[in-house]
Amino acid sequence: MPPKPSARARLALKALALALSGLACTAAAQSNISEDDLALAYGDKTTISIATGHAQTLNRAPAVATVITAEDIAAMGATDLDEVLETVPGLHVSRSSVRYAATYLIRGIGGGTQTNSQVLLLQNGVPTTTMFGGDKGSAWRGTAVENIARIEVIRGPGSALYGADAYAGVINIVTKTANAAPGTELGLRAGSFGARDAWVQHGGKAGGADIAAFLRVGGTDGLRETIAADAQTRNDRLFGTRASFAPGPVNAGYDAIDGSLTASYGNWRANGAYKLRDRLGTGAGVSSALVAGSLGRAEVFTGDLGWSDLNFGENWGLGFNLSHLQYNFTYPENLMLLPPGTRLASGSFPDGLIGGPNQWERQTRLSAFANYAGFAGHALRFGLGHDDLDLYRTRTMKNYFLNAAGAPVPTGPVIDYSDIQPFIRPQRRKIDYLYAQDEWSLARDWTLTAGLRHDSYSDFGGTTNPRLALVWEAAHDLTAKLLYGTAFRAPSFNEQYGINPVSNGNPGLKPETVRTLEAALAWRLRPEAHVSLSVFRYAMQNLIRIVANPAPAPGATFQNTGGQNGYGTELEGTWDVARNLRLSGHYAYQHSADETTGRDAGYTPRHHLYARADWRFGDGWLLGGQANRVAGRQRGPGDARAPVPDYTTVDVILRSPASRKGWSVAASVRNLFDATVLEPSLAPGLLLPDDLPMAPRTFWLQLGHRL
């Protein structure tokens, strides 16, 4: 079992547990609330599919998981996926300085990088991973929530079922089908910083098939919070120039288009989607220096076709899925790394240090599964698949050449360096995998889930990952779980093959690995009150980090080095005080340490407290509020700055019911008390001495109409 948390953490846990117990006792005096009423008001949160590959009750699932429904999303007033995920126990949404991209930090894993490759993000069960960075890519900036039916989140390893990058957790976004979005709905929303969105959604029948379509057009000018000093500020001090745009605002704006079409007919289903993020700002700068312009364009085309028949034959169920993803990331007007007037030891750049890393990827994935229930007490699942992941085109536009020491030497106008000195050359990776899983009802109220998956990679070899999960329904209102699993993170193409003396790729990299042990309890105190508690411990090895090359060689190279250990606990509860009032919340504690130094691994909150209240009044109006407390973030290794400041934000949402003519309105204030919210900049803070400022108080107003 994981070691006990600190005295301070234990005190907080006891206080929250006593509060939840008090809520349950009070709830006993309330009239009983039917499950149908609650499901109607708040949506079905009792089932999950990604824990085993098929739908089952959340309490019995062999995982520590959270389900968020469309009704939850509307009640919390979220307008973006990142706002939704911040409400998940043990998950904190931080930001990268590069394009202000969201990074999902689960249980202390994933801090200190500009990418987010420790979490596997799925859409309708299909990976969205881009190969260059090994994460969800820049096109996920500002993900719409209006087309989401539910979000399923597993905290902990998932490689035994999903393979690479299901390392700290798995997030599956399930989009709306015709049944989830019947009829036609229109929506408009406007808010702070020039945020604007318009969408249309339709679900219905066409020739016997169920059809759902969605289109959203919008964008934002982005928050305008100030970066006081940046990397160019340091260059100006060293070389006597005045090129920096700091103090100046971050560039976090973008234009957005999201479209999807879903069709199902019998045992067949098909999904197609298009996602565009245009005029995508650079955040605090790709090189930690504010610049003007340099807007990116990210496009994602996805499509998948699936067939399944769970009653294919006696005791047999079969299915397959074929998917394709096309990802393009380009800079139509090139990328300014450092502003005009820059001077470095290697030369002067009157027009700025200009680059243009453009990439085009295509991914094809084919998978199949078979279920067999012919053995008494056993539910067997077998699967296999093949992935073809192809970074088939790159283009590098620059006005400099990197010398042997990794220093940029000015060469004049911007030209195509794709054949001279590219940032990466086209790469291709093929993966074959197979897995087996057995859900064994070994005794009354006891289920043992055992799984094993082997992945064979064309570039770095094979990896095998097991899982074991023992679930005991101790009583009708109490379930206990003991879970063990391993997972791996595959090296990204940039980490293996990137061409940059400052952070050069290493074809000899091996995957990062993690072993996790978890225990969980789910207790239904009363029909109106639920409490769950989980504890975990993990050990990470072969971490991929940038390591300085041995002297006298200049620069650095990605290497497998060191590890990280962590433990923690998550407590969450829900209490339906009355038919029209629900209280919910969670407290998460984690401690993660670098294996070599024994110091805090940094960046992620040790304490995360979330509380929410939803009150329905009048003729279906909803008034909701939530508070989010993030505390205890330490600096990364080698960073002597003071710890990252704690913060608490409060959000309020007011939503009307649909009128007889189909109209509805909603309004929200986020960060009501205008708290100062900062996300940590990377250690040691030489390039960005201050942290990344997040949005102050913001407002939005929404109008909807159902035809």
Check pLDDT > 50 for residue 17.
no
The ranges assigned to domains in the chain are 7-706
How do residues 514-552 score in pLDDT, each as one tens digit? Answer: 999 999 999 999 889 999 999 999 999 999 999 999 988
- Whether the pLDDT of residue 357 is over 70: the answer is yes
Q: How confident is the model at residue 385 (pLDDT cuts 50, 70, 90)?
A: very high
Tokens 């090139």 sit at which residue? Answer: 334
Q: Rg of the chain's alpha carbons, rounded to an integer? A: 25
Per the CB < 8 A criterion, the answer to whether 610 and 66 are in contact is no
Q: What DSSP assignment string belongs to 618-660?
A: TTTEEEEEEEEEEE-PPPPTT--SPPPPPEEEEEEEEEPPP-T
pLDDT at 284 exceeding the cut of 70: yes
Q: Indicate if the pLDDT at residue 144 is higher than 80.
A: yes
Burial of 255 (0-12, 13-18, 19+ CB in 10 A): middle
| In the predicted structure, residue 21 carries a pLDDT above the cut 60 | no
What confidence tens digit (pLDDT) does each residue in 438-473 have?
Answer: 999 999 999 999 999 999 999 999 999 999 999 999
- Beta-strand ranges (E) seen in 314-407 are 316-330, 335-338, 342-344, 347-349, 353-355, 357-372, 378-402
Let me know if 208 is exposed, middle or buried by CB neighbors in 10 A (0-12, 13-18, 19+): exposed
Q: Give the pLDDT confidence of 170-225 residue by residue, as tens digits.
A: 999 999 999 988 999 999 999 999 999 999 999 999 989 999 999 999 999 999 99
CA 573 to chain centre: 23
Q: Using CA atoms, how far apart are residues 297 and 255, in angstroms rounded to an integer?
A: 9
Most confident residue range from 11-20, 45-54, 314-323: 314-323
Structure token digits, residue 655: 């939503």
| Helices marked H in 77-209 | 81-85, 159-162
How far apart, in whole angstroms, are the C-alpha atoms of residue 554 and residue 402? 12
Band the pLDDT of 406: cuts 50, 70, 90: confident
Q: Which residues contact 659 (CB under 8 A, 6 or more apart)?
A: none
Residue 205 has a pLDDT of 94
**pLDDT tens sequence across 235-253:** 999 999 999 999 999 999 9
Q: Per the omega criterion (within 30 degrees of 0), is the bond before 684 cis?
A: yes
39 pLDDT more than 50: no
| The predicted structure's pLDDT at residue 260 | 97
* Mean pLDDT over each residue of the chain, to the nearest integer: 91
Residue range 415-443, pLDDT digits in tens: 999 999 999 999 999 999 999 999 999 99
Is pLDDT at 9 greater than 80 in this prediction? Answer: no
Higher pLDDT, 21 or 222: 222
Q: With pLDDT > 90 as the criterion, what percentage of the chain qualifies?
A: 84
The H or E element containing residue 39 is helix 35-42
Q: What is the pLDDT of residue 44?
A: 62
Mean pLDDT value across residues 400-424: 92
DSSP 194: G
**Degrees to nearest 5, angle at CA 576 with 570 and 581:** 115
Q: Which stretches of 458-511 are assigned E, i.e. beta strand?
A: 461-475, 478-489
Coil, strand or helix at 323: strand
Q: What is the pLDDT, as a whole number, of residue 137?
A: 84
End-to-end CA distance of the chain: 55
Q: Does the structure show a pLDDT above 80 at 414? A: yes
Higher model confidence: residue 517 or residue 658?
Answer: 517
Give me the mean pLDDT over the 328-350 stretch: 95
HEC sequence for 510-552? CCEEEEEEEEEEEEEEECCEEEEEEEEEEEEECCEEEEECCCC
Q: Is 128 helix (H, G, I), strand (E, B) or coil?
A: coil
pLDDT of residue 567: 97
> Mean pLDDT throughout 568-578?
97
- Secondary structure of residue 56 in the 3-state scheme: strand
Phi and psi at residue 81, in whole multiples of 5°? -55, -40
CATH class of 7-706: mainly beta
Return the structure tokens found at 125: 């069960």
Q: Are 486 and 466 in contact (CB under 8 A)?
A: yes
pLDDT of residue 637: 86
Does position 43 have pLDDT exceeding 80, yes or no?
A: no
